[in-house]
Chain A
Amino acid sequence: DAKTTQPPSMDCAEGRAANLPCNHSTISGNEYVYWYRQIHSQGPQYIIHGLKNNETNEMASLIITEDRKSSTLILPHATLRDTAVYYCIVAGNTPLVFGKGTRLSVIA
């Protein structure tokens, strides 16, 4: 049973910000929100994670709503190399369960 809901696909123009939404309305208090991406058929790559505060690193920003029922991953200036499947995962002290994710296509 999926804990997150993501759109199956999105497009973004190169150089623009990519905003990827994720709904996780049944998230528990001790569960984190994780984002990973998978480029072509490579192994998934960690992007960012957070509990309740917004987070930023060199790759992306994670915005979590105050009620923690949804979040948005922001890639500030998308490039063609950001074309990938992006997975939003909610987990506590348990193994990560990957859904189908969102296929982001960055268009020149």
Chain B
Amino acid sequence: NAGVTQTPKFRVLKTGQSMTLLCAQDMNHEYMYWYRQDPGMGLRLIHYSVGEGTTAKGEVPDGYNVSRLKKQNFLLGLESAAPSQTSVYFCASQDRRVGTGELFFGEGSRLTVL
């Protein structure tokens, strides 16, 4: 059981480049989330999904797109990266069938945009 796996773990981009972060979970969870964390700050919600084929905006969705084509995967895309998107990105999954359900987080993906 790998839990929540994020790839890549590190990436350096130039301004204007595009990339996709992949989050995969093997726990059959319905809910998945993408957060970003800037230095000295808490986590801020970018987008989330309550099931396959559904997505919703969080607190800071601008500049990002997401897709949930398969239940186990949640992709976060940056179409035209900006230095302000330099951050650590965390993915989480949650089983809401068991009451409120705890969030399981990945190890994070560290992105630098030059």
Contacts and interface: CB of A to CB of B under 8 A. Distances in A.
Asked if A and B are interacting partners, one says yes
Given A97-B59, A99-B42, A100-B41, A42 B108 contact: yes
B33 A100 contact: no
Interface string A36-76: 10000111111001000000000000000000000000000
A97 B45 contact: yes
A96 interface: yes
B42 A101 contact: yes
A95 B42 contact: no
A44 B45 CA distance: 13
Contacts, number: 44
B43 A46 contact: no
| Size band of the interface chain A makes with B | 10 to 19
Secondary structure dominating the interface of B: strand
B88 interface: yes
A32 B99 CA distance: 11
A32 B48 contact: no
Interface string A85-101: 00100000001111111
Secondary structure dominating the interface of A: loop
Interface in B83-107: 88, 90, 92, 100, 102-107
B103 to A, nearest CB: 6
B51 interface: no
Nearest to A42: B107
Interface of A: 32, 34, 36, 41-46, 49, 87, 95-101
11 contacts: A41-B88, A43-B92, A43-B106, A44-B92, A46-B104, A95-B45, A96-B103, A97-B45, A98-B42, A100-B40, A100-B41
Interface of B: 4, 33, 35, 40-45, 48, 58-59, 88, 90, 92, 100, 102-108
